[in-house]
Amino acid sequence: MDKMTVFKAQQWAFSFIKDHGKDPSAADLLLQGQMNWSTTEMLMNYQTQLSAEQLERFFTNVKLYCQDHPAQYLLGKANFFGLEFKVSEATLIPRLETEELVEWILEAEPKTSLRVLDIGTGTGAIGLSLKHDRPAWEVTLSDISSQALAVAKENKQALKLEATLIESDLFQNITGKFDVIVSNPPYIAESEAELMDKSVLEHEPKTALFAPDEGLYLYKKLAEKLSQHLTEHGKLYLEIGFQQGPSVVEIFSQAYPTAKVELRQDITGHDRMVKVSF
């Protein structure tokens, strides 16, 4: 098949994906992402003929998606907080719920100059989204993975944003103090692996997903040296697993009895974020 209109290609993909028990909306995501179109642009191009090369790439991606390859990895990009980020299998795919963590920080913190550290930055999605909305903030992105940092660097350059990048295992190579520290660390317990999507387990980096001690290990490690890296009235913002709220609150309440520890739910009503204020 040498040619096909956008509309016919979309309908074929929709049926193919549905027949394989996957989310049919991925048909639009894959086609729009490949063509760099908005939804409106795709509608305007419904009768446009796709070339043989474009069709081959689209059909290949649709079939790979049905074999549990995440759509964002197939496209090499993902949208987060209104921005486009490069992704690779060295980084987690930015999640919608993490946008709520960014929103909390932006609504709670002043627009004046702040020093911000994003630990375990991955693609740089959290730190760079904060920098995009608050140009006066001095943002540092850190990650234990040099491959992830390379992706974050590409995203920094593509978005034309200033940020410092540091390869570090938590606070190991971090110097100085920050007004805001944010982290979406690995927090999934190994025992929960059987509940996860095959696409996540087979393609997303396990070091960015799983943590020992029922997923609480890195929260405990962060608590150990947090006060050494926060300013006098600094704040820590964390993403957590939906069942970890009470445990994470207890970790930081015990480590810092005079700090205010807040638990916040996401839009679905699940415990998802913790804020520690000094």
- Predicted local distance difference test score (pLDDT) of residue 1: 57
| Helical axes 52-66 vs 26-35, angle rounded to 10° | 140
Residue type, 93: I
Token pair 């850190």 is at which residue? 142
- CB count, 10 Å around CB of 46? 12
| Cβ atoms within 10 Å of 155's Cβ, excluding its own | 27
pLDDT at 12: 96
pLDDT of residue 32: 96
Residues of the chain with pLDDT under 50: none
3-class SS at 268? coil
Q: What is the pLDDT of residue 197?
A: 73
**pLDDT tens readout for residues 124-146:** 999 999 999 999 999 999 999 99
pLDDT value for 187: 82
Q: What is the pLDDT of residue 26?
A: 95
- What b/e string do you get for 192-219 counting C-beta neighbours within 10 Å, with b at 16 or more? eeeeeeebbeebbbeebbbbeebbbbbb
Report the C-alpha gap between 106 and 97 in whole angstroms: 15
Prediction pTM value: 0.93
| Residue 87 near residue 123, CB atoms below 8 Å | yes
Residue 205 has a pLDDT of 77
pLDDT tens by residue, 73-126: 999 999 999 999 999 999 999 999 999 999 999 999 999 999 999 999 999 999
> 116: closest CA among 182, 173, 183?
182
Residue 52: other Cβ atoms inside 10 A: 11
Going from the C-alpha of 278 to that of each of 17, 80, 159, 183, 190, the distances in angstroms are 50, 29, 32, 17, 32
Where do the H-state alpha helices sit in the chain?
6-19, 26-35, 39-44, 52-66, 71-75, 96-108, 125-133, 146-158, 198-203, 217-225, 245-255
Residue type, 101: L
